[in-house]
Amino acid sequence: MRTKHIGERVPRREGGLKVSGRARYVDDWTLTGALYGVTVRSPVARGIIRQIGYPAGTPWEQFTIVTAADIPGSNSVANLEKDQPFLAVDRVQHAEQAILLLAHPNKSLLEKARRAVSLDIEHLPAVLSLESSLAQEQVVWGHNNVFKELKIEKGNVDGVLNNAPVIVEGEYWTGAQEQLYLETNGMIAVANPKEGVTVWGSMQCPYFVHKALMELFSLPMEKVRVVQMETGGAFGGKEDYPSVLAGHAALLAWKSGKPVKMVYDRGEDMAATTKRHPSRTQHRTVVDRNGKLLAMDIDFAIDGGGHMTLSPIVLSRGSIHAAGPYYCPNIRIHGRAVATNTPPHGAFRGFGAPQSLFALERHMDKVARTVGLSPVEFRRRNFIRQGESTATGQRIRESIQMEKLLHRALKETNYEKKVRLFAKQNLKAKVKKGMGVSCFFHGAGFTGSGEKRLASVVAVEATEQGKLRVLASITELGQGAVTIFTQIAADALGISGQDIEVAQADTAFVPDSGPTVASRTCMIVGKILESACIELKQTLIQNGLLKERYTSNAFRAACKKYVKQHGQLKSFAQYQQPSHIQWDDEKHEGDAYGTMAWAIYIAEVSVDLSTYEIRVDDFLALQEIGKVMNPLLAEGQIIGGVVQGIGYTLHENVIWNKGRMVNNRITDYIIPTSMDVPPVRVIFEENPYEFGPSGAKGIGELPLDGVAPAIVNAIESATGAAINRIPVTPEVLLEAMENTNE
Amino acid sequence: MHAFLPDFEVYTPRSLREALALLNQNNHKPLAGGTDLMVLLAAGNLPAGSYLNVNGLEELGGMEVGKDKVRLGALTTYTEIRRQAILCKEFPNLVAAARQTGALAIQNRGTIGGNIANASPAADSPPALLTYDAEIKLISEKGTRVVPYKDFHLGYKKTLLGTNELIHSVYVPRRFRNWHHYYRKVGARKSQAISKVIIAACALMNKDRIQDIRLSAGSVAPYTLRCFQTEEILRGEKKSQAAIQKAKTMILSEISPINDIRSTAKYRRYVTTQLLEEFLLSLP
């Protein structure tokens, strides 16, 4: 296949509309006669709803009021477990839980009414931290607070631990992180018993919303339609939550008989919707005399919040990544996702891996120090190689080149020389400098047999104008899905990118291509798209409308002719699992991922001891991601992920009070500005994956995985402070330095 | 928007005279650039009531450079402050404060008078004004009065400003040309941050002795603090480790920082002393 588009720096197709302000988001649309909707939420983390009051002084008769009693179908959000109601019935399981909904044509009056509703909630003792949930200080979910527990075992860990002269132990913590997409969650709904339910909104996964609405209203598939509107960022934050908001807007529309628009303001979006799971990881490690890993015993726990939502899958990915890109004959990973009475935590770029990899890569530095090796040399001795197997027993089939990557990363950063120089300068300087390394991988696509179960479908059809239209439920979130699909389809068909259209993700027209998550859009769905294109081309050739070699013009003419003759030309393709993938869900054993992307990140930081301000002076992001489909977009993904990672490491601190986020304002929740980030140096190595389109692997989540440990390792090398939690604010570093100096 | 807009009234007078008359009749809260009030409004925390929009009142704007002092109209924006050559030259702390306040859009709208009247202990320009012996001219229907800025703040969000008064102008005397200036704001990031600690200072050196000194601190007390006692023990001192240690101990007794969502009392105490030391070491 000639590649005229793949591998090129093709700018984002929808980019012009976005930068010129012409793109229209949910909040830019008005529907005649529409009502606005708002949510009355619980200020209490856990309790029993005694009474809902509507005090005099508000013209309640003008309002549409929806409670759980108004729900026509099932009052539980379609997910792994049916434990999350759309609207609380008699109990509140987390702060900010939705209790009732109000709609009114006047936004201002609506806000006044929202504040006027009186809630009489009897407080129950709540569990507000991961520690207290693990300790079962209260049981607030199931019989032991545990949403999901899993074990990954390889070899005989206890055998090694019992005979080990030295066990290196460590405990590591990560905080919640807010996705902070630019566009807050928003949804417009039209719903009535006759026509069914239609919603238009900001989302990642139209078919998740579709399923949720079918169950909420007890409607058949064809009576529910979900349309993704222009979406201003998501990062996982619009994976499961839009099902809740779509349900709320549709319930108000159903009861009022009018279109309803609900758009969260920033404060509500930050306080009530999902964030990254806080975590705790404990490591116990044994190393032999030559600095080779002998046993890794890892306990990984995440705080899932009030309902299960996606926590078991986040736990699974986090656990599988917990042992990183190293070979160790004996590994045990014990994972638990537990309940607390905060809003449910959810998907966020990396999906559990940034948490467990922070712990691992901090711990690798600690083990290296204990055995007297440099962090770099210790890692080098333990990299996994082709033919060796991971924690889940996945044998590495491809020729991975971690040593080569490391060699290049060290050279690009002048690592060894700088380490020596800083050690010397730091003796006197008030501003201390340090270097930190992290090595990691990220598996793309759903874990194990997940993709097989999804059995995603993509369609392509010829239009009357002779263009090629891509039909997929994959959503453009700002990551470049539309552009990548255009490149793949154009090259598969050998035509111009101008002749490719990518349809809006509307469940009335597009098949279920699975959710837009898990770095799967290009590698998994892109491959299905490629097959669908080839099939369509074959149809034209077999019908004698196209020769083996043809021009864009000839292709257009052939399409037009076929459509005229037959009415339509449409080709479907479905995911085909590569035969080498074997996975056991029960045991968490086998090929967790078709392939992984591999990376080495190096941070150079300086710490001002008069303020403990930490500055990342240089950042090298070196990764092997198969074929680089579009260097412009790929660099953007990496730079964006690194910046988000810098925020996660140094700034982003969700402050909780009784289960509620109290700094739910951009003023108080600090993310880095352009002044706070260094130039991010992005380098790609290519090692094509045979089952990805043109050899591509997943890339979207990778960069967030390795930023935090690289920076914190650098902080330790600068200051000697053995920090074991993020975010590392100056206040945290001050405390840590005092402990170090004692 | 977590606010019921019909509960808010905004009066826009055509002249200062009309503004003062309105203020005398009724308890209006002044609204200038709105950069503090709009944040409260969006969060649903702005008290409902009537507001007096003083934007555009010519008498409250403008800047005059006199022989002995510079007058800044209360409506002078941060951007205007940044662009004044004379301020850059003679009052660099004020320019540094303006440059580090919010984003450019905030600097275009936010005013020096608003920053003073809002009386946030974390405000960026008050520490700078305190180092320059600023005076504030207040105006009401009954007349005007000029008060030293060091006496203006009385407690948390409590000031000398009467309910019928507006801040008219800020005066800074032109006697700091030969002083050494220092302004450092420590926030949660490099820009667009609210301060955790600010130290503003200037000193006049006589050979190796500190002949005179002004020292102020933000975000470490219920209001912006002029550190008189620390100034006092440094006045006449030579720059020495002993003097620095004494000053650091003294400033800790003057400030009263708290734990809040932005930082901790402990961190604020530490940074206050560190910045003070950095300033003193920077003196020639």
pLDDT of B219 reads 98
Minimum distance, in Å, between the CA of residue A669 and any CA atom of chain B: 9
Asked if residue A477 and residue A397 are part of one domain, the reply reads no
Instruction: Look up the domain containing A37 and give its range.
Output: 31-124+185-263
B223-233 residue pLDDT tens: 999 999 999 99
Asked if residue A525 and residue A662 are part of one domain, the reply reads no
- Please judge whether A267 and B1 are an interchain contact, meaning their C-beta atoms are less than 8 angstroms apart: no
Kindly report the CATH number assigned to the domain that includes residue A545.
Answer: 3.30.365.10
Pick the more confident residue, B4 or B82.
B82
Asked if residue A104 and residue A206 are part of one domain, the reply reads yes
The answer as to whether A321 is a domain residue is yes
- Please judge whether B190 and A655 are an interchain contact, meaning their C-beta atoms are less than 8 angstroms apart: no
Chain B residues whose C-beta sits inside 8 Å of any chain A C-beta: 1-7, 39, 42-44, 186, 188-194, 261-264, 266-267, 270-271, 274-275, 277-278
Residue A742 has pLDDT above 80, yes or no: no
Asked if residue A291 and residue A254 are part of one domain, the reply reads no
The answer as to whether A341 is a domain residue is yes
The answer as to whether A312 is a domain residue is yes
Tell me how crowded residue A25 is: count the other CB atoms within 10 A of its CB: 18
Provide the CA A285 distance to its chain's centre, in angstroms. 29
pLDDT of B5 reads 81
B78-103 residue pLDDT tens: 999 999 999 999 999 999 999 999 99
User: What is the residue-averaged pLDDT of chain A?
Assistant: 97
Q: Give the type of residue at A556.
A: R
Provide the CA A209 distance to its chain's centre, in angstroms. 17
The answer as to whether A147 is a domain residue is no
Strands A196-201 and A224-228: parallel
Residue B1 has pLDDT above 70, yes or no: no
pLDDT band at A1 (very low <50, low <70, confident <90, very high): low
Count A/B contacts: CB-CB distance under 8 Å.
67
DSSP conformational letter for A611: T
Burial (Cβ within 10 Å: 0-12, 13-18, ≥19) of residue B68: exposed
A-chain CB neighbours of B261 within 8 Å are 655, 662-663, 668
B154-179 residue pLDDT tens: 999 999 999 999 999 999 999 999 99
* Residue A489 contacts residue A460 (beta carbons within 8 Å): yes
Distance (Å, whole) CA B224 – CA B116:
10
- Please judge whether A265 and B39 are an interchain contact, meaning their C-beta atoms are less than 8 angstroms apart: no
The answer as to whether A433 is a domain residue is yes
Express the helix, strand and coil content of chain A in percent, nearest 5 each.
35, 25, 40
B-chain CB neighbours of A59 within 8 Å are none
The answer as to whether A352 is a domain residue is yes
* Residue A493 contacts residue A466 (beta carbons within 8 Å): no
- Please judge whether A109 and B264 are an interchain contact, meaning their C-beta atoms are less than 8 angstroms apart: no
Q: Which of A263, A298, A323 corresponds to the end of one domain?
A: A263
pLDDT (mean) for A711-738:
97
Distance (Å, whole) CA A35 – CA A113:
14
- Total domains in chain A come to 3
pLDDT of A740 reads 80
Asked if residue A289 and residue A191 are part of one domain, the reply reads no
Of B43, B190, B261, the CB nearest to A655: B261
- Please judge whether A107 and B1 are an interchain contact, meaning their C-beta atoms are less than 8 angstroms apart: yes
pLDDT (mean) for A109-135:
97
For residue A465 the two structure tokens come to: 């104008």
- Please judge whether A665 and B43 are an interchain contact, meaning their C-beta atoms are less than 8 angstroms apart: yes
Interface probe, candidates B4, B104, B219, B259, chain A, greatest A C-beta count within 10 A: B4
Distance (Å, whole) CA A603 – CA B136:
49
pLDDT (mean) for A440-451:
95
Please give the ipTM for the structure prediction. 0.96
Of residues B116, B63, B114, B111, the one with CA closest to residue B90: B63
pLDDT of A132 reads 97
pLDDT of B44 reads 84
Q: CA separation (Å) from A212 to A189, A206, B16?
A: 14, 10, 60
Of A265, A610, A667, the CB nearest to B278: A610
Distance (Å, whole) CA B134 – CA B170:
7
Asked if residue A364 and residue A411 are part of one domain, the reply reads yes
Residues forming a β-bridge with B65? B70
Distance (Å, whole) CA A242 – CA A236:
11
pLDDT band at A2 (very low <50, low <70, confident <90, very high): low
| Cα angle: A599, vertex A603, A607; to 5 degrees | 160
- Please judge whether A611 and B271 are an interchain contact, meaning their C-beta atoms are less than 8 angstroms apart: yes
B-chain CB neighbours of A734 within 8 Å are 266-267, 270
Asked if residue A569 and residue A603 are part of one domain, the reply reads no
- Please judge whether A729 and B188 are an interchain contact, meaning their C-beta atoms are less than 8 angstroms apart: yes
The answer as to whether A172 is a domain residue is no
B-chain CB neighbours of A662 within 8 Å are 261
- Please judge whether A613 and B275 are an interchain contact, meaning their C-beta atoms are less than 8 angstroms apart: no
DSSP conformational letter for B3: S
- Please judge whether A111 and B271 are an interchain contact, meaning their C-beta atoms are less than 8 angstroms apart: no
A314-359 residue pLDDT tens: 999 999 999 999 999 999 999 999 999 999 999 999 999 999 999 9
Asked if residue A410 and residue A512 are part of one domain, the reply reads no
Distance (Å, whole) CA A522 – CA A484:
7
For residue B87 the two structure tokens come to: 């301020």
Write out the E strands in A176-329: 186-192, 196-201, 224-228, 260-263, 279-287, 293-305
Minimum distance, in Å, between the CA of residue A331 and any CA atom of chain B: 40
The answer as to whether A696 is a domain residue is yes
Asked if residue A537 and residue A474 are part of one domain, the reply reads yes
A219-247 residue pLDDT tens: 999 999 999 999 999 999 999 999 999 99
Name B17's Cβ contacts closer than 8 Å, sequence gap at least 6: none
Of A668, A673, A729, the CB nearest to B190: A673
A350-388 residue pLDDT tens: 999 999 999 999 999 999 999 999 999 999 999 999 999
- Please judge whether A265 and B2 are an interchain contact, meaning their C-beta atoms are less than 8 angstroms apart: yes
pLDDT of B143 reads 97
DSSP states of A240-269 as a string? Answer: SHHHHHHHHHHHHHHHHSS-EEEE--HHHH
Asked if residue A609 and residue A733 are part of one domain, the reply reads yes
Residues forming a β-bridge with A101? A39, A66
DSSP conformational letter for B7: G
DSSP states of A627-683 as a string? Answer: S-S-HHHHHHHHHHHHHHHHIIIII----EETTEES--STTTS----GGG-PPEEEE
Pick the more confident residue, A710 or B40.
A710
Q: CA separation (Å) from A586 to A316, A336, B277?
A: 11, 15, 62
B-chain CB neighbours of A616 within 8 Å are none
